[in-house]
Amino acid sequence: MTLLSGNAFQGASHFTIKHATFTAVSNDEKEKIQKWLNAPDCTTNFQAADDQRTKGTGQWILNHPKYIQWKKSPNALWIQGKAGSGKTILSTTIIRDLKQAAPENVWYHYFDSRDNTGQKSKYRGFLLSLLHWAGANSTGIHPALKTFFDKCSSQGLSAPSPTVEDLEMILKQVFKTLGGGYVVLDAMDEGSEPLKVLEWLENLPEQFYILFTSRYSPEGSIAMRCLQISLDSRTAEIDDDIGIYLDQEIKKYNIKGDLRDEVISTLKEKAQGQFRWVDCQLRALEDCGGIPGAVRDALVDLPEDLEQTYNQAIDRTFRKKGTKQYAHHLLLWLLYSLEPLDVEMVEEILTIDLKNNRVEKDNKISVQIHAIIDSTLVAVAANSNVQLAHASVKEFLIVQYSLSHTARVFPINEVLAHEKIAQTCIIYVRQIMQFIDINSISSVLEKNPLSVYAVIFWTEHARCIEEKDSKSQLHHIIVEFATTGMQSFHNWTNAYADFWDLEWDIWEDTSPIYYLIMEGRTPCCI
């Protein structure tokens, strides 16, 4: 590592490039390259955590002896803590701290199991994140990335996406030329290929600082050489943070005086170091309407842990007579959709009547998500994306929920989800694509928020069922779509083929899509 002055961290803003300079390119060219990379957008995770952080919390980590030691010389630091203990807030606090000294030498990735595209949990997504950050700076694009992009672009109008091997090769060249920097990885336990990530990091040049957060302690060679902080042993600092958080958050609720102090002391005492548990209880107390007796009754009957908390939230959700079936449908979508959903897409989903196979767009209204699903389970992000409120919610719904009595009435499993989503999409496509000509398809796709997803992905959901459940009735629905809804079907095949750049004559019944469906198979061009 090359530093111009002072100790390692104080001089971090002077990390130098050892063997190359970044290639100056126009903003348009840089944007084109980064669009081609298509890295997962972890700035949304950073911003969401930064927005959620209560002022004054998390500062203790910056003064922790092991964090200070880690900043003084290149090393690895592993921060371990149970689910909901505030690890993401701490990693975000650390990123902000590091960026003050080295704004262009901090590269981060948030592993996030809630991301249904899989990009934020897979090894490939991790590599793309690092290349997105380290492959460009304010002066331009790294020569290794620019050269590879130019090579791919020369092959045609649409440059092929880099393979994992390509990404590893480019990153190796990039990091060889950098004089040092910080790699911060949040929620390693939510990654689907952690061993690959660790193996890659083992080969990183020695001038780089690496920081992880995880529910689990490190294993293997990394455990032998990295510094470690266990949040389970930092009860005093975390309790203080929870106290600051409660003092600020309780102002949003109509709880005052002695009752306010009682709520704060009770939640602090029972939190067991879990911010997530505290946040859920505050949301539940909101239903008490500020009535002292109701609040005190709720404090007596607090759930012991997150699992009990989520079970109670599920019960509240499915007790709502008029909306429980829609809540069940939305939970299946949030767990198994293949792309993020936004508020407008959710509103469209709720207009689709699966019983009568129709879309009631004329009766569409603005939907309050939390009037359908308890706010403990689902959150609406600043960018209007609707997602599960926490990674532990997804784990609960997939693992623990199946053991509950509610699951017998409202089951949640992958096959059912793919079947319901595929059916929803087919009904939607069939209705919006009927009675229009080929020249109107583009405008229909623009006007209907769920249309692009439905056109592109119903086949993928159907294919997932073919692989897991050959007895599914969905095939009959697909065949009916292909044989009785000819105008809609032809318009869909046109839009589908256009998206995937397919070159067959999709207007003929002899098209490959038609024959695949008649044979009981689902087309997939991904």
Pairing label, strands 181-186, 106-110 = parallel
State residue 299's pLDDT score: 96
Is domain 12-233 given the CATH code 3.40.50.300 in the classification?
Answer: yes
Under the banding of pLDDT at 50, 70 and 90, the label for residue 515 is: very low
Range with the poorest average pLDDT among 2-11, 93-102, 106-115, 286-295: 2-11
- Can you state the percent helix, strand and coil of the chain, rounding each to 5? 55, 10, 35
The predicted model gives 487-503 an average pLDDT of 82
Question: Residue 273 is encoded by which pair of tokens?
Answer: 């170091």
DSSP 3: -
CB 343, CB 368: distance < 8 Å: no
Length of the chain: 526
Cα(423)–Cα(82) distance, rounded to whole angstroms? 38
Under the banding of pLDDT at 50, 70 and 90, the label for residue 153 is: confident
- The CA-to-CA distance between both ends of the chain, in Å, stands at 43
pLDDT tens track for 431-480: 999 988 888 889 999 999 999 999 999 999 998 887 665 556 788 888 88
Mean pLDDT, the chain, integer: 88
Tell me the Ramachandran region of residue 77: left when phi exceeds 0, alpha when psi lies from -120 to 50, beta otherwise. beta
Examine the pLDDT at 207 and tell me if it is beyond 60: yes
CA distances (Å), origin 194, targets 39, 200, 211, 219, 278: 18, 10, 14, 11, 29
pLDDT tens track for 99-110: 999 999 999 999
CB 124, CB 167: distance < 8 Å: yes
State residue 64's pLDDT score: 97
Q: In what order do the strands lie in the sheet with 378-380?
A: 341-342, 385-388, 378-380
Secondary structure E strands in 134-244? 136-137, 140-141, 181-186, 208-214, 227-230
DSSP 3-state assignment of 341? strand
- Only one residue has tokens 């623990």, namely 400
**Would you say the C-alpha torsion 209, 210, 213, 218 has a positive or negative sign?**
negative
CB 391, CB 114: distance < 8 Å: yes
| Three-state helix/strand/coil letters over 460-503 | HHHHHHHHHCCCCCHHHHHHHHHHHCHHHHHHHHHHHHHHCCCC
DSSP 3-state assignment of 374? coil
Examine the pLDDT at 187 and tell me if it is beyond 80: yes
DSSP 17: B
Q: Please, which residues have CB within 8 angstroms of residue 223's CB and are 6 or more apart in sequence?
A: 78, 217
Q: For the chain, which residues make up each domain, given as ranges?
A: 12-233, 235-302, 322-518
State residue 8's pLDDT score: 39
CB 453, CB 380: distance < 8 Å: no
**Would you say the C-alpha torsion 304, 307, 313, 315 has a positive or negative sign?**
negative
Range with the poorest average pLDDT among 245-249, 309-313, 494-498: 494-498
- Other residues' Cβ atoms within 10 Å of the Cβ of residue 151: 11
CB 118, CB 192: distance < 8 Å: yes
Under the banding of pLDDT at 50, 70 and 90, the label for residue 514 is: low
State residue 13's pLDDT score: 45
Query: CA-based angle 167:169:171, to the nearest 5?
Result: 65
Pairing label, strands 76-80, 208-214 = parallel
Cα(160)–Cα(122) distance, rounded to whole angstroms? 19
pLDDT above 90 coverage of the chain, percent: 67
pLDDT tens track for 243-253: 999 999 998 88
Q: Please, which residues have CB within 8 angstroms of residue 239's CB and are 6 or more apart in sequence?
A: 268, 271, 273
Tell me the Ramachandran region of residue 384: left when phi exceeds 0, alpha when psi lies from -120 to 50, beta otherwise. left
Residue 186's DSSP bridge partners are: 110
DSSP 3-state assignment of 132? helix
The predicted model gives 285-305 an average pLDDT of 92
Examine the pLDDT at 229 and tell me if it is beyond 90: yes
Examine the pLDDT at 18 and tell me if it is beyond 60: no
CB 60, CB 242: distance < 8 Å: no
Examine the pLDDT at 510 and tell me if it is beyond 70: no
State residue 300's pLDDT score: 94
The predicted model gives 263-290 an average pLDDT of 93
State residue 469's pLDDT score: 59
CA distances (Å), origin 186, targets 55, 107, 117, 152, 277: 21, 11, 18, 32, 20
Residue 178's DSSP bridge partners are: 17
Cα(180)–Cα(203) distance, rounded to whole angstroms? 14
- Higher-pLDDT residue of 214 and 480 is 214
State residue 239's pLDDT score: 93
Using alpha carbons, select from 214, 211, 209 the residue that is nearest to residue 188: 214
Secondary structure E strands in 297-400? 341-342, 352-353, 358-359, 378-380, 385-388
Range with the poorest average pLDDT among 42-56, 129-143, 169-183, 482-496: 482-496
pLDDT tens track for 22-48: 999 999 999 999 999 999 999 999 999
Examine the pLDDT at 313 and tell me if it is beyond 70: yes
Under the banding of pLDDT at 50, 70 and 90, the label for residue 20 is: low
Range with the poorest average pLDDT among 162-171, 337-346, 349-358: 349-358
Examine the pLDDT at 196 and tell me if it is beyond 70: yes
Spell out a b/e string for 373-392, using b for 16 or more CB atoms within 10 Å of the CB, else e.
bbbbbbbbbeeebbbbbbbb
State residue 4's pLDDT score: 26
State residue 254's pLDDT score: 80
State residue 222's pLDDT score: 79
State residue 265's pLDDT score: 96
Using alpha carbons, select from 381, 42, 70 the residue that is nearest to residue 190: 42
